[in-house]
Structure formats: C-alpha cells, structure tokens
C-alpha cells in the first residue's frame, strides 16, 4: 500500500508527469468526442448519429480513466481528466441536477404503448394517474384501440387517431388530419402522424403526434436512413404550420443530440435540462420519447412508472407564456 501511494519517480526515472501518456491521450480524446461530436462523420455506418444517441454515457469514461490513472500514479493523466469532466459538466451537468418545476399551463403525456402490450387497460389507467391535459400514444393496434378509447373517454372526450398514433385531449380538437411522414418506398397503409388543433383556454395550439421509423445497430453500422427521411418530412410539416404555438409529442427513435433529428429539433424546443431516459423500460439508457414546443416552453420532463410497454411514459409541463 505504501508503495502504491508513493508518487515519486519509478526505477526507470519517469516522474508522475511523464507516465500515463496513453491514459492522458484517452482523456483528451473523450473530451474531443464530447465537445465536437458533430464533427464525427456519418458517411460510414452513421457512426456520428450512433455516438450522439448515447452521448451522455461517454461520461462513464471519466471514472474509469480516473481509476486507471490512480493505479498508474500518473499526475499527467489526472490533470488531463479535467478536460472531459469539465466538458461533460457543461453539456449535461444541468440535466443531472434538474429539479421540479410547477410553473406550467398544460401537462402532456407521451407514451409508445407497444403493439404487444398485454394490458392496454392497465396502461391507460396508469397514464390517468398523471392527470395530464393531453395524452399521445403510439403503436396502437386494432384490438387495443377500443380499450384505450373506452378507458380514456370519460376524462378525455376528444380524440384524434390516424393509423397507429393517437391524441386524447381534455380540450376540444378541430382540424384533425393525418401527417404524411412515410419514407420513400413505404406503402399508404403506414400512418404514423396526426395533427389537431387543441382549443385551450389560452388559445389554439397545434398538436402533432408522430412515430418515426425505428433504427437498428447492425454489423455495418447504425441503420437510420428511413428515420432521418421521416424526420425531414416531419420537420417540413412543422415549418408549414400556421399556428404560432405548437406541441410535438412522439417517439422519435433518437435523442435530441442526434443530428438525424435536426429537421425537427431545429424548429422546436425541448426540455434539454432533464435526462428522463425512457427506453428500454427494463434499463433506460436513452430518451427517445419527446415533448417539444414552439412559442411555448417545456418546463420539465419526467418519466412515469413502467407499464406493459418496452418504453416508459414521459410527462411534461408546458408553459404557454404570457
């Protein structure tokens, strides 16, 4: 133990400032990936998007390298570790310390209920416990839809369903229409977008519900082409929306850090100050379920208890402003 704690020169004459260069290089590389993740190319296997999907978890390299630096007794590596620690804190420290906020006008719940959910009635009742004003659901099946309608109708008399996505509302809904976000080559029976106007006491709000295509991590890389194409179509629909206030609820199959969602995130604001990991429900590592706004503010996003889905529901408070 005394030998391990001694930070003097080794028998070879190397001081604590000369050893651990590999560890120091890895620390600098980690900091560079965190700070300049957008510079990682997407040309081969969409590696950039894959990195950005799990970007916060890159911070786990810091405690790992710290342990190795202590074992190596390297002052050089310890100093270098300040770089990734500071960068991670700048990017994500606010999310880790995010607290509750009661300042909101609307509560919205977003949930991919799963098309193999064995208990849709229980799932619907669980969402009711959050007492939201708006509920968005994805992966609705023909057999489960009547169950959700029957369970939610007493408190949410207004609904808008198109294909496998739906919106339930305490407010009257008008202007209901499907939003075509089909990637090229997908048939007309693929309906994953709906838009409605919610007539709230604070004025009309355009509410969109969307479910972008899934992505896959395969041997040749990150398969997100269809997701990215669908995000572009959704972004165009949002850009064409004439109402000032807009709420987007949906399973976008990636995080706000992923450049593949730029057509959407570039036009909408999200609650970047919360992790609220929603997928997979058994061990959440990523928030791919989102509540975003335009001309309004998402005050906080939180996850709700698990249901029969492989996603956790997320609830968000929305401040409509003055």
> What SS3 class is residue 197?
strand
Q: State the average pLDDT for the chain.
A: 90
Q: What is the pLDDT of residues 20-56, one digit of tens each?
A: 899 999 999 999 999 999 999 887 778 888 888 889 9
In this predicted structure, the answer to whether residue 67 has a pLDDT above a threshold of 70 is yes
Annotated domain spans of the chain? 2-96, 106-319
How many helices (H) and strands (E) are present in the chain, helices listed first? 10, 14
Between the alpha carbon of residue 287 and those of residues 50, 149, 221, 266, the distances in Å are 14, 27, 21, 18
Write down the pLDDT at residue 1.
42
In this predicted structure, the answer to whether residue 3 has a pLDDT above a threshold of 70 is no
Is the bond preceding 280 in cis, omega lying within 30 degrees of 0?
Answer: yes
Better-predicted residue by pLDDT, 245 or 4: 245
Confidence of residue 84 (pLDDT cuts 50, 70, 90): very high
Write down the pLDDT at residue 5.
45
In CATH terms, the superfamily for domain 106-319 is Endonuclease/exonuclease/phosphatase (3.60.10.10)
In this predicted structure, the answer to whether residue 103 has a pLDDT above a threshold of 90 is no
CA–CA separation, 49 and 231 (whole Å): 14
Write down the pLDDT at residue 97.
54
Write down the pLDDT at residue 134.
98
Q: What is the pLDDT of residues 211-266, one digit of tens each?
A: 999 987 665 556 788 999 999 999 999 999 999 999 999 999 999 999 999 999 99
CA–CA separation, 262 and 217 (whole Å): 20
Write down the pLDDT at residue 100.
54
Better-predicted residue by pLDDT, 120 or 41: 120
The DSSP symbol for 286 reads B
Nearest alpha-carbon partner for 267 in 250, 244, 287, 286: 244
Write down the pLDDT at residue 322.
80
In this predicted structure, the answer to whether residue 273 has a pLDDT above a threshold of 60 is no
Q: What is the pLDDT of residues 305-320, one digit of tens each?
A: 999 999 999 999 999 9
> What SS3 class is residue 280?
coil
CA–CA separation, 165 and 259 (whole Å): 24
Write down the pLDDT at residue 10.
57
Degrees, nearest 5: CA angle 187-192-193: 120
Helices 120-128 + 145-152 axis angle, to 10: 30
In this predicted structure, the answer to whether residue 187 has a pLDDT above a threshold of 90 is no
* Section 284-300 average pLDDT: 94
């Amino acid at each position: 133990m005394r030998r391990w704690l001694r930070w003097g020169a080794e028998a070879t004459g190397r001081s604590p400032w000369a050893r651990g260069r590999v560890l120091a290089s890895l620390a600098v590389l980690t900091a560079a990936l965190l700070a300049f993740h957008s510079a990682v190319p997407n040309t081969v296997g969409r590696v950039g998007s894959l990195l950005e999907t799990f970007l916060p978890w890159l911070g786990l390299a810091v405690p790992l390298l710290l342990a190795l630096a202590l074992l190596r007794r390297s002052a050089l590596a310890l100093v270098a570790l300040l770089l990734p620690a500071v960068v991670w804190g700048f990017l994500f420290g606010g999310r880790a310390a995010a607290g509750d906020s009661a300042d909101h006008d609307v509560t919205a719940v977003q949930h991919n209920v799963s098309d193999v959910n064995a208990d849709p009635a229980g799932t619907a009742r669980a969402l009711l416990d959050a007492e939201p004003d708006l509920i968005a659901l994805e992966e609705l099946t023909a057999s489960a839809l009547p169950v959700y309608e029957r369970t939610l109708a007493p408190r949410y008399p207004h609904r808008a369903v198109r294909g496998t996505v739906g919106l339930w509302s305490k407010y009257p809904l008008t202007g209901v229409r499907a939003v075509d976000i089909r990637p090229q080559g997908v048939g007309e029976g693929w309906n994953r977008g709906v838009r409605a106007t919610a007539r709230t006491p604070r004025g009309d709000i355009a509410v969109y519900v969307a479910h972008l295509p899934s992505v896959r991590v395969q041997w040749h890389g990150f398969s997100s082409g269809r997701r990215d194409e669908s995000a572009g179509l959704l972004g165009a629909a949002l850009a064409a929306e004439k109402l000032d206030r807009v709420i987007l609820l949906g399973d976008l199959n990636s995080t706000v850090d992923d450049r593949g969602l730029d057509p959407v995130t570039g036009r909408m604001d999200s609650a970047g100050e919360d992790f609220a990991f929603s997928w997979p429900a058994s061990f959440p590592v990523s928030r791919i379920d989102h509540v975003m706004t335009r001309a309004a503010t998402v005050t906080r996003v939180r996850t709700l208890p698990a249901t029969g889905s492989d996603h956790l529901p997320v609830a968000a408070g929305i401040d409509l402003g003055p």
